[in-house]
Amino acid sequence: MKAKLALENGTIFTGESFGASGEISGEVVFNTSMSGYQEIYTDPSYSGQIVTLTYPLIGNYGVTDEDMESSGPRVAGVIVKEYTETHSNFRSSSSLGDWLTQHGITAVQGIDTRMLTRMIRTQGALRGVLSTMELDDTRLLAKVAAVPSMNGLDLATKVTCGSAYDWKGTDTTPFALGVPGIDPGRRFRVVAYDYGIKYNILRRLTAFGCSVTVVPAGFPAADVLAMKPDGVFLSNGPGDPAPVTVAIQNIRALLGRVPIFGICLGHQLLSIALGAKTYKLKFGHRGGNHPVKDLRTGVIEITSQNHGFAVDPDSVDQSAIEITHMNLNDNTNEGIRHRSLPAFSVQYHPEASPGPHDSDYLFREFIALMAGEPVPVRTV
């Protein structure tokens, strides 16, 4: 079945559908990861986005239920250079195409993803419409004009959970990342705000000795404190952080009352709560290969990233807040730590699903903060 991608700059790409038939719209972005497509597609941070994978061959290892990062695919749509239905993986439960079709996700192959990626890098992330139903170029471009910008879009409150729940999942696969030196009998109670949380964050918190209660994005700070947590976690999520005002107000009410650790959107929300400002990146950071420097030690981490907004370092009050991490590709902010309050956050994904494990030490730092112990700083 033929499919077309129309972009706001007037470009039309024609390819072949391998997912569900239909028509979707969103912001067209790219991800440079070489594997982990299922984890990418199920990451709620991609809500409202049509994701282009720069790696050319996609689908060769199928999909498996154990690799989900949420209850199902969260991307608006999928773009690849070449899809393969034949998959070889002893863990796989179905092909990628069948899985996307089952979940109603429109996907297209046969598009020149190198051209598309260079276009996004040059012009910035572009609004687009992906369709197997409407193939008239003029009508498609008219629909693109009506697609909302990601600027000012509060998507976190749309993807959050409906009510609080206790996380019971653990990583029981043979590939689970161990945590040496953690006393399994020493439990910390963590309340995790769900702005679009990934399952592997919850798995890592559990592996580090935490019992986790997940709460909706707008859950009142007073109710969190009434649960007497040892720490509060602020999750990743989609969209612009600035309009998520209820979350920002709750974070301000929690500051100084309980240790706080934020990742991705959680980092942006914590920064805003501390007086900083955010801005939209030209084309964002998405992939499993981004170098980040820990400014405290000089250690370079290869990190997993997925965000379209960033914290403006010039807006950070550095008398109260230490800038801890920096992206070496473009010198954007990647982490902060309050100098007197127990609160820190990073822009990237230390749970790295998909991605490297260089930054897993940050969970240990959160544990130390909750235990009231000196925070161990990695030196190698």
Active site residues: 264, 349, 351
Which amino acid, one-letter code, is at 379? Answer: T
Provide the pairing of β-strand 12-17 with 2-7: antiparallel
Using DSSP, state whether 134 is helix, strand or coil.
Answer: coil
Provide the angle, in degrees to the nearest 10, between the axes of the packed helices 265-273 and 245-254: 70
Owner of token pair 């679009």: 196
Residue 58 in contact with residue 82, Cβ under 8 Å? Answer: yes
Owner of token pair 């749309």: 158
Residue 45 in contact with residue 306, Cβ under 8 Å? Answer: yes
Residue 317 in contact with residue 274, Cβ under 8 Å? Answer: yes
Q: Where are the beta strands (DSSP E) in the chain?
A: 2-7, 12-17, 23-31, 49-53, 57-58, 77-79, 82-83, 106-109, 126-131, 165-166, 188-194, 210-216, 231-234, 260-263, 278-294, 300-311, 321-327, 333-338, 343-346
Q: Where are the alpha helices (DSSP H) in 238-329?
A: 245-254, 265-273
